[in-house]
Each structure stands twice: as structure tokens, then as C-alpha cells.
């Protein structure tokens, strides 16, 4: 019996237990010693299961309500954090609550890209259709076809969506800017070429075009629209600069 009392391992355990008992109960003190002496693996499993099954992060009080009285919840949390530190999921604190989430360095595996639909106004739909079917077209020509003014906001929205682009300037008085659709527009609507666009009658029936179309309005031939003989095309830098200048103005929506 005397040999047992002098066993250094037994003495170390007794010293650790005495130290743990001297630490305040709950989460007020350092968790390390209390965890080593008081907490059982089963408690870790319970907390682990609760956090995995939860649909939202859990706070310490919620976890404590499911555990025996005087359980060192903070110590269990720290133990689980250490356990999952190098795993594919980590235990992290979010706004004072805890949850498991994918390790930060593996986030790219679960990242997905999705397109958020952006509803176009009737004015934008009509303007887009006119540009698609009658490019290269100027703003004045769009207004003549629609019968109403085209606001900067309408054209700006289509430019920002990259469905239309600035093509160049007409060699006519005032040097008006011309517009055309982009490859992004073609790809979004699954068009191999412009001849795949719906007929004018279909667009009229859908209410996307005014019935007041000029006699010379026609659908472009297949393939990309070729440069107009009376049009000076923009370079990419010129188009970008004009777009910036264009955005400086402010007009009411139509």
C-alpha cells in the first residue's frame, strides 16, 4: 500500500485532480486540466453529434442544456476544435455560437457559380430586340422605331449585362454612336447566329416590339453583323472611355 502511495503516476493524477477541483466550475477557468480529469469521451461524442445535426450554429447554453450538470462545455468545445483542426471540417465560432464548416483551404471544392436572373423592363426588352434585329443601330433610330425616348438607364443596364456593345460612330452629322449585340447575348440565348432569332411577327405577338416598324426593318443575315460601310468602329479602349462618359449623365427612365 505504501508503494502505491509513492507511485509517481498516482501522485501526478492526484495533483491534477486537486488542481482541477480548485478551478471554478463551468467555463470560468482554463479548460485543459478539467478536461483531462473530469470530461469523458461520451460527452465529446454528444457535443459532436449535436453540432453535426444542428441546422444552425449552437451557443454554449443550448449545448449545456443537453449535458449533465457542471459539464465543462467550453472544455469540450476546445477539445473538438483540436480534434478537427487538421480535418476536412473545422469547428468554428460564428457570432458567439459554434458550428462545423468546411476547412477554409478546401472551400474551392464546394464553390459553385450561379446566375441570378435579372428582370428586364419592357423598355429594355424592346430596346434589346431592336438592337439585335437592326444593328448597327443608333439611339435615334431606336427611338424612332419604339416611338418614345430611350433613357440612359435602359441602355446602361444592357451595357452592364454585356448584352449590347458600342460598335462605333456613323459617318453622318453629329457622328452618332451605334450599338450591336455581343457574344454574351448570343451565348445566353443559345443562338449560333443572328438568323436563329425569332421572327418579327413572333416578337410583335409577344409584345416585345412596337407595331410601328419602319418599312426597311429587316432581320440580319446569318452570322455576325459585318461593319457598316458608313460606320467607324470603336477600339476596345475607345468603347470603354465612351461608356464611362456615357454613365456620367443622368436621365429619367422611360
Please report whether residue 208 resides in a domain: yes
Please report whether residue 74 resides in a domain: yes
pLDDT of the residue at 77 = 93
141 plus 202 within the same structural domain: yes
Share of the chain above pLDDT 90, in %: 15
- State the average pLDDT over residues 207-216: 59
User: Is the pLDDT confidence value at 6 over 90?
Assistant: no
User: Is the pLDDT confidence value at 168 over 50?
Assistant: yes
Q: Binning pLDDT at 50, 70 and 90, where does residue 222 land?
A: very low
88 plus 131 within the same structural domain: no
8 Å CB contact between 191 and 199: no
Please report whether residue 133 resides in a domain: yes
Please report whether residue 37 resides in a domain: yes
175 plus 228 within the same structural domain: yes
d(CA 169, CA 177): 4
pLDDT of the residue at 55 = 87
pLDDT of the residue at 253 = 44
Please report whether residue 98 resides in a domain: yes
- DSSP summary character for residue 250: -
Please report whether residue 203 resides in a domain: yes
147 plus 239 within the same structural domain: yes
Domain CATH code at residue 157: 1.10.10.10
139 plus 201 within the same structural domain: yes
SS3 166: strand
Angle between helices 73-83 and 41-53 (to 10 degrees): 80
Q: Choose the final residue of a domain: 85, 110, 135.
A: 110
Torsion, Cα 49 52 54 55, to 10 degrees, reads -160
35 plus 86 within the same structural domain: yes
Q: What is the pTM of this model?
A: 0.44
8 Å CB contact between 23 and 33: yes
pLDDT of the residue at 195 = 73
8 Å CB contact between 66 and 106: no
Q: Choose the final residue of a domain: 59, 83, 110.
A: 110
- State the average pLDDT over residues 152-163: 88
98 plus 131 within the same structural domain: no
CB neighbour list of residue 93: distance below 8 Å, 6 or more residues apart: none
Note the pLDDT tens digit of each residue in 118-139: 678 888 988 998 898 888 888 9
151 plus 201 within the same structural domain: yes
User: Is the pLDDT confidence value at 251 over 80?
Assistant: no
Note the pLDDT tens digit of each residue in 53-100: 988 889 999 999 988 888 889 999 999 999 999 999 999 888 788 999
Please report whether residue 217 resides in a domain: yes
97 plus 136 within the same structural domain: no
Q: Binning pLDDT at 50, 70 and 90, where does residue 206 land?
A: low
- State the average pLDDT over residues 15-24: 59
What's the structural domain count of the chain?
2
Q: What is the mean pLDDT of the chain?
A: 75
What number of CA atoms fall less than 13 Å from residue 214's CA on the CB side?
Answer: 14
Q: Binning pLDDT at 50, 70 and 90, where does residue 37 land?
A: very low
Q: Binning pLDDT at 50, 70 and 90, where does residue 174 land?
A: confident
Identify the domain containing residue 219 by its residue range.
Answer: 122-248
pLDDT of the residue at 152 = 83
88 plus 174 within the same structural domain: no
138 plus 51 within the same structural domain: no
d(CA 171, CA 99): 64
pLDDT of the residue at 47 = 92
d(CA 96, CA 59): 6
Please report whether residue 115 resides in a domain: no
Q: Choose the final residue of a domain: 110, 145, 168.
A: 110
pLDDT of the residue at 82 = 92
- DSSP summary character for residue 56: S
205 plus 128 within the same structural domain: yes
- State the average pLDDT over residues 28-35: 47
Amino acid at each position: 500500500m505504501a508503494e502505491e502511495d509513492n507511485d509517481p503516476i498516482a501522485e501526478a493524477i492526484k495533483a491534477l485532480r486537486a488542481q482541477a477541483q480548485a478551478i471554478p466550475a463551468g467555463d470560468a477557468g482554463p479548460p485543459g486540466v478539467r478536461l483531462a480529469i473530469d470530461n469523458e469521451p461520451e460527452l465529446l461524442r454528444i457535443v459532436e453529434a449535436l453540432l453535426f445535426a444542428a441546422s444552425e450554429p449552437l451557443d454554449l447554453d443550448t449545448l449545456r442544456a443537453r449535458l449533465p450538470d457542471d459539464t465543462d462545455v467550453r472544455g469540450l468545445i476546445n477539445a473538438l476544435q483540436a480534434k478537427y483542426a487538421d480535418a476536412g471540417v473545422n469547428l468554428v465560432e460564428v457570432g458567439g455560437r459554434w458550428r462545423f464548416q468546411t476547412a477554409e483551404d478546401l472551400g474551392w471544392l464546394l464553390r459553385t457559380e450561379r446566375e441570378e436572373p435579372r428582370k428586364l423592363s419592357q423598355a429594355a426588352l424592346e430596346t434589346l430586340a431592336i438592337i439585335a434585329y437592326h444593328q448597327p443601330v443608333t439611339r435615334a433610330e431606336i427611338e424612332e422605331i419604339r416611338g418614345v425616348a430611350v433613357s440612359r438607364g435602359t441602355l446602361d443596364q444592357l451595357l452592364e449585362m454585356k448584352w449590347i456593345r458600342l460598335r462605333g460612330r456613323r459617318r453622318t452629322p453629329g457622328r452618332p454612336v451605334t450599338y450591336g449585340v455581343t457574344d454574351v447575348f448570343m451565348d445566353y440565348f443559345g443562338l449560333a447566329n443572328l438568323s436563329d432569332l425569332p421572327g418579327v411577327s413572333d416578337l410583335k405577338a409577344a409584345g416585345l416590339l412596337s407595331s410601328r416598324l419602319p418599312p426597311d426593318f429587316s432581320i440580319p443575315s446569318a452570322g455576325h453583323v459585318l461593319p457598316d460601310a458608313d460606320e467607324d468602329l470603336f477600339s476596345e479602349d475607345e468603347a470603354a472611355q465612351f461608356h464611362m462618359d456615357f454613365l456620367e449623365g443622368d436621365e429619367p427612365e422611360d
